[in-house]
Amino acid sequence: MEPLTGRTHVTPPPRLLPWSSPDGNPCYLVTDHNGSHLSRLADDLEAVQLATGADVLGHARKVLDDPASPHREIRFAGIRLAECLSDALRVAESRGMRLPGPDTEDA
């Protein structure tokens, strides 16, 4: 039992994880400890997803800058860019959900 300190314990909102369930549904983590194993795993995967996006963007620019690029290469680049954009938007949404809200005491 925790000692009473006069403060109420507020659990942060669920964290949107950077992966989906096997059915394609979003996965969330509910914890009040940001340093948990699963939180660190999610942080690491977000970093990998963003780095992959930057890498794919570099390759796609080369393909798109070459007017002689075959249709298949352009299509592949577009598909990969869409995948990376989806990952980046999910990371942004997850991080945005974890930003502190406006201070309601000032209102």
Q: Give the Cα separation of 59 and 84 in Å (integer).
A: 13
Give me the pLDDT at residue 3, please.
Answer: 57
Query: 14-45 pLDDT, tens per residue?
Result: 999 999 999 999 999 998 677 889 999 999 99
Give me the pLDDT at residue 74, please.
Answer: 98
Decide: 60 and 81 in contact? Cβ < 8 Å: yes
Helix (H, G, I), strand (E, B) or coil at 19: strand
Predicted TM-score (pTM) of this structure: 0.79
Cα distances from 84 to residues 48, 53, 69, 79, in angstroms, run 11, 5, 21, 9
Query: 41-72 pLDDT, tens per residue?
Result: 999 999 999 999 999 999 999 999 999 999 99
